[in-house]
Structure 1
Amino acid sequence: MLNLNDLVLFAAAVEHGGFAAASRRLGVPKSTVSKRVAALEDELGVRLIHRTSRSFTLTDAGRAFHEHAHAALIETEAAEAVVRSRVAEPSGRVRITAGVPTAQDYLAPHLPALARTYPRLHLQLDVTDRFVDLVQEGYDIAVRSHFAPLPDSGLIQRQALVESIVLVAAPAYLAERGCPTTPQELAAHDGLLTGQSSATTWSLANAAGHRIEVAPVARMTANEGRVLSTAAQGGLGIACLPERMCRDELDHGRLARVLPEWIAGRVTTTLVMPHRRGQLPGVRATVEFLIDCLKN
């Protein structure tokens, strides 16, 4: 069988017009190019090139051979490119952990597209609101929504999203009870509260930097945003929810903004990963994909 390296040297000599030019192009000695082409001719039992000190021309057999050799080299490069691209394609298992609201509202809409984009990835999502030790439990990525900055834990942190917490209510509730025009008027409205039963006030701020504490009438308390969203859509009162969580309800008129110039703080969504796992191609691809999706 012919030596593929000899084909490369022969094709370079033909395409660059001589052994010296091929030598400079490939960075190998001219004598090596000449010897390997001669060896190729010996292997084939035919003269491929007429060469003298002043001329370098292909024989008929040489022209025919070069045509096929050139095509073979193109196919070889294509084969190499296919293999390299497949090796570089993100693959393997990527373990992700996220809380219930984060998984439902931020990951679920995008994971199918991620899986289609990288078919060799096996996405494994663990939905839990308990504290997860990424390193000890072998997770690749944690998607965490938080109000205060995350502690410096030695993990890689990639901020994906910062969004406002907005006041919303069902149009039917506002039609019945009236729409507040100042934060102070919220004291006369039913509030759907987040967290512990002792948290009965909302801290609001506007673009001018003014802040105010208001205490609505505590109508319901829950530590899960979807529960509060459903209650608000049912006309039970006014709720404070992350803007992205209630975007669809706002777009379709199931909820309406209340005091749109005021917000009840901001929530940040961050992707956290151990340093070593964060370097894996599958993990990097997943992180970049999710950050790109969550920006929009």
Structure 2
Amino acid sequence: MLNLNDLHFFAQAVDSGGFAAAARRLGCPKSTVSKRVATLEATLGVQLLYRTSRSFTLTDVGRDVYDHARAVMIEAEAAETVVHRRLAEPSGAVRITASVPVAQFQLADRFPILARQHPKLRIQLHVTDRFIDLVQDGFDIAIRSHFAPLPDSDLVQRRMSEEPITLVAAPSYVAQRGAPQGPESLTSHDGLMTTTTMKSWRLADANGRIVEVEPRPQFYADESVSLMKAAEMGLGIVCLPETITAQAVREGRLARVLPAWTAGRVMTTILTPQKRAQLPAVRAVIDFLMLK
């Protein structure tokens, strides 16, 4: 089996343009580099280099071996970097901006756990629904929820989650009004809407069937918790991301309506300026958030 150290000496000799230059780079005698390359040639049973007092060139097979040797060295360096990064305890402040629903339903329960795991981290969470320029406003991370793919930018993007938007209602509403048997029957049900201009819901099933329906508007709110509370009070049916309604469904305060249908999907993406993406503290937060 090949000695990986021999591959390392060989790659260094090629990169340096000769044994003497490689020896200076590696801090060892020139004879050591020469012997290791000769050992590699003997192990492989081929000549890798044409060596004279004036020239130092690769043979055809030597060129192929060099490509693989460099790949091995790159992977070894990457492994070392990963270990050093893991061993380095993250510390310092990490400024994060997130929307209100993301903060309430995806971060509030998780960030205290992160803070306990990394006591030297100082998480600074700024919650707002307004647009934030990460670079201009000095943030390390932004967490955005969106319905369509984000445009290309200079920011590093990591998809944190993707979830369906489901239809839910209070059991009391279903008991009083009956469960809708299909999307079309929603026209005779009360809907809780985000804006007064919102007239319809666009629903889809697993087979790709699309139906647009118009429930009877009963209540308007442009904030998710207010809509959910209105639904829990039995005012009507609401469309909300699954994460927001999950606990209420588990506790029986809400129930899925038309479970075979969804009102689209919402994606949550972590955005980071490129220059800050590899900082140990920022990396630790991103790695934690990417855990399922």
Question: TM-score by structure 2 length?
Answer: 0.70
- Which AA in structure 1 matches 2:270? L
Counterpart in the other structure of 2:249: 250
Shift of 1:124: 0.2
Number of equivalent positions: 212
> Which SS does the other structure have where 1:153 is aligned?
coil
Q: 5 Å matches for 1:78-117? A: 88-117=88-117
RMSD (CA atoms): 1.7
Shift of 1:28: 8.7
Counterpart in the other structure of 2:282: 283
CA displacement 1:165-193 (0-9 Å, x = unmatched):
00000000000000001001100000001
> Which SS does the other structure have where 1:259 is aligned?
coil
Counterpart in the other structure of 1:272: 271
Counterpart in the other structure of 2:139: 139
> Which SS does the other structure have where 1:246 is aligned?
helix
**Distance in 2, Cα, partners of 1:276 & 1:242:** 32
- Which AA in structure 2 matches 1:182? G
Decide whether aligned partners of structure 1 residues 272 and 168 sit closer, same or farther in structure 2, where only a CA change above 3 A counts.
same
Q: 5 Å matches for 1:194-205? A: 194=194, 196-205=195-204
Q: 5 Å matches for 1:53-68? A: none
**Distance in 2, Cα, partners of 1:227 & 1:143:** 22
Shift of 1:150: 1.0
Shift of 1:152: 1.1
The sequence identity of aligned pairs, in percent, is 56
Counterpart in the other structure of 1:190: 190
Counterpart in the other structure of 2:152: 152
Q: 5 Å matches for 1:17-36? A: none
Counterpart in the other structure of 1:172: 172
Counterpart in the other structure of 1:222: 221
CA displacement 1:132-180 (0-9 Å, x = unmatched):
0000111000011111111112100000100000000000000000000
> Which SS does the other structure have where 2:243 is aligned?
coil
CA displacement 1:230-274 (0-9 Å, x = unmatched):
100010000001001110001110000000000000000000010
Counterpart in the other structure of 1:6: none
Shift of 1:130: 0.8
**Distance in 2, Cα, partners of 1:263 & 1:200:** 17
Shift of 1:221: 1.5
Unpaired runs of 5+ in structure 2? 1-26, 30-83
CA displacement 1:51-79 (0-9 Å, x = unmatched):
xxxxxxxxxxxxxxxxxxxxxxxxxxxxx
- Which AA in structure 1 matches 2:126? D
Decide whether aligned partners of structure 1 residues 184 and 86 sit closer, same or farther in structure 2, where only a CA change above 3 A counts.
closer
2:124 counterpart of 1:128: no
Decide whether aligned partners of structure 1 residues 144 and 85 sit closer, same or farther in structure 2, where only a CA change above 3 A counts.
closer
- Which AA in structure 2 matches 1:212? V
**Distance in 1, Cα, partners of 2:193 & 2:114:** 35
**Distance in 1, Cα, partners of 2:202 & 2:284:** 38
**Distance in 1, Cα, partners of 2:189 & 2:178:** 9
**Distance in 2, Cα, partners of 1:124 & 1:134:** 14
Decide whether aligned partners of structure 1 residues 279 and 85 sit closer, same or farther in structure 2, where only a CA change above 3 A counts.
closer
**Distance in 1, Cα, partners of 2:85 & 2:158:** 27
Task: State whether residues 85 and 280 of structure 2, in contact with CA within 8 Å, keep that contact through their aligned partners in structure 1.
Answer: no
> Which SS does the other structure have where 2:277 is aligned?
helix
Question: TM-score by structure 1 length?
Answer: 0.69
Decide whether aligned partners of structure 1 residues 151 and 86 sit closer, same or farther in structure 2, where only a CA change above 3 A counts.
closer
Counterpart in the other structure of 1:206: 205
2:238 counterpart of 1:239: yes
Unpaired runs of 5+ in structure 1? 1-26, 30-83
